[in-house]
């Protein structure tokens, strides 16, 4: 973790201290597990802590945050990665990458996935685990993914070598009615990753998630379907993500560039509001997935390019009215600012999982752009994380 990130994490944990004990913990692992740092704080106070943190970190640049969009505080996560190491199957211990807590329950996980984990937990213990410090052993991760709106569930195993997979087939049989897809992924590298090439498909091979374009009670609401493969990224909290996408959809117009598009979920969700939309991401698997999802949804005015964002905009000769930015936690590469200025979109819609890096990116754009709106969404209740959405409008453009 970088110095600035560590400092920001310490700051939000410091702010949280005085609210400790105001909430009821739902989970027997709280305190030991590194996942939920805020479970002993009431949800109302968690939102206050996040607002106070933002108002300290961004006070000189951003307007005062009074309100953070709340959501269901539990049962929201689409994905959980259970590490298998040191005789435990679970999550990293609070404050220590080298220790793992054996996890039997997790209230953040959606219902069906939680049911699956409870049923298979003992069987997963029978498989040889992988010591990621000495690099010996077999099973590295068990990954559960679930579409929040579709309910479809995927169970994947990440292993260090190709071996007999009979034990995994048996496990899948024991939860067959709860699982739509199951694959075995290979990670034979020294890097601690919970993905890798798919070497065996036990069942299915993908799940679908479905996002309604509008939050309307009418059943004729049009939706966008996303096929999620074992290695493709998808937002961890569908309910909050779809709310944010709906806001973005209201803001886009004309020719749109979606930089850092991932599997193209924002592009596809907003396509009918744009003249054209171009998504760019550095990961080929994600771009392939975006292209497949474009066909699945019969979208014709989107295109996807696998490229590094900086050379892409440096060499780009097209003009775009709207730029969507949703970069990784570190924000955009500072060497990109000058190309962003020459791209000169009338509006920039900036979605960020790290408001502190958004702040420094905005500081470099604010000479040419006014901050029209800035909203914060609690995408990750029980944790210090949050997601923000900003609209920047070029000076002189209303």
Pick out residues in 232-251 that bind ligand SAM (CB under 6 A).
Answer: 233, 235
33 or 294: CB nearest ligand SAM: 294
Please say whether the beta carbons of 44 and 68 come within 8 A. Answer: no
The reply on whether position 340 binds ligand SAM by CB under 6 A is no
- Rounded to whole angstroms, the Cα distance separating 227 from 42 reads 36
d(CA 223, CA 213): 5
Q: Specify whether the backbone of 233 is left (phi greater than 0), alpha (psi in -120 to 50) or beta.
A: beta
Interface positions, 268-327, toward ligand SAM (CB under 6 A):
280-283, 286, 308-309, 326-327
| Count of residues near ligand SAM by CB under 6 A | 18
In the complex with ligand SAM, the residue whose CB is nearer, 117 or 148, is 148
Q: Map residues 121-160 to x or -, x wherever contact with ligand SAM holds by CB under 6 A.
A: ----------------------------------------
CA-to-CA distance for 87 and 89, rounded, in angstroms? 7
Question: Shortest Cβ distance from residue 42 to ligand SAM (Å)?
Answer: 29
Min CB(118)–ligand SAM separation in Å: 29
Annotated catalytic residues are 353, 387
Nearest distance from residue 279's CB to ligand SAM, in Å?
8
Instruction: State which residue, 84 or 309, has the beta carbon closest to ligand SAM.
Output: 309
Cβ at position 138, least distance to ligand SAM in Å: 29
Q: Which residue is nearest to ligand SAM (CB)?
A: 262
Of 328, 370, 373, 397, which one interacts with ligand SAM (CB under 6 A)?
328
Residues that bind ligand SAM (CB under 6 A): 233, 235, 260-263, 265-266, 280-283, 286, 308-309, 326-328
């Amino acid at each position: 973790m970088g110095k600035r990130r560590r400092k920001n994490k310490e700051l939000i944990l410091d702010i949280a201290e005085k609210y400790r004990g105001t909430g009821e913990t739902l989970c027997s692992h709280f305190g030991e597990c590194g996942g939920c740092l805020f479970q002993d704080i009431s949800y109302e106070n968690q939102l206050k802590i996040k607002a106070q943190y933002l108002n300290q970190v961004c006070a000189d640049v951003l307007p005062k945050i009074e309100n953070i969009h709340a959501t269901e505080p539990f049962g929201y996560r689409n994905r959980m990665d259970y590490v298998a190491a040191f005789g435990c199957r679970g999550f990293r211990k609070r404050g220590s990458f080298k220790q793992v807590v054996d996890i039997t329950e997790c209230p953040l996980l959606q219902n069906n996935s939680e049911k699956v984990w409870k049923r298979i937990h003992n069987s997963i213990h029978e498989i040889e685990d992988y010591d990621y410090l000495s690099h010996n052993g077999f099973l590295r991760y068990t990954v559960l993914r679930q579409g929040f709106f579709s309910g479809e569930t995927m169970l994947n195993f990440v292993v260090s070598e190709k071996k007999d997979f009979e034990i995994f087939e048996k496990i899948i049989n024991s939860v067959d009615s709860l699982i739509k897809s199951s694959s075995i992924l290979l990670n034979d590298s020294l890097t601690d990753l919970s993905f890798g090439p798919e070497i065996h498909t036990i069942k299915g091979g993908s799940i679908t998630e479905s996002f309604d374009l509008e939050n309307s009670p009418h059943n004729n609401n049009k939706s966008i379907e996303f096929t999620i493969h074992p290695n493709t990224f998808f937002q961890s909290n569908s309910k909050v993500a779809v709310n944010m996408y709906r806001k973005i959809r209201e803001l886009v117009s004309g020719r749109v560039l979606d930089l850092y598009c991932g599997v193209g979920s924002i592009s596809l969700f907003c396509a009918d509001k744009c003249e054209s939309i171009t998504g760019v991401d550095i990961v080929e698997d994600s771009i392939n997935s975006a292209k497949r999802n474009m066909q699945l949804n019969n979208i014709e005015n989107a295109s996807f390019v696998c490229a590094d964002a900086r050379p892409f905009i440096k060499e780009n000769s097209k003009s775009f009215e709207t730029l969507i930015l949703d970069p990784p936690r570190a924000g955009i590469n500072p060497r990109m600012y000058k190309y962003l200025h020459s791209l000169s979109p009338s509006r920039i819609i900036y979605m960020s999982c790290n408001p502190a890096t958004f702040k420094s990116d905005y500081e470099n754009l604010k000479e040419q752009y006014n901050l029209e709106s800035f909203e914060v969404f609690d995408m990750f209740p029980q944790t210090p994380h949050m997601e923000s959405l900003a609209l920047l409008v070029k000076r002189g453009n209303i």
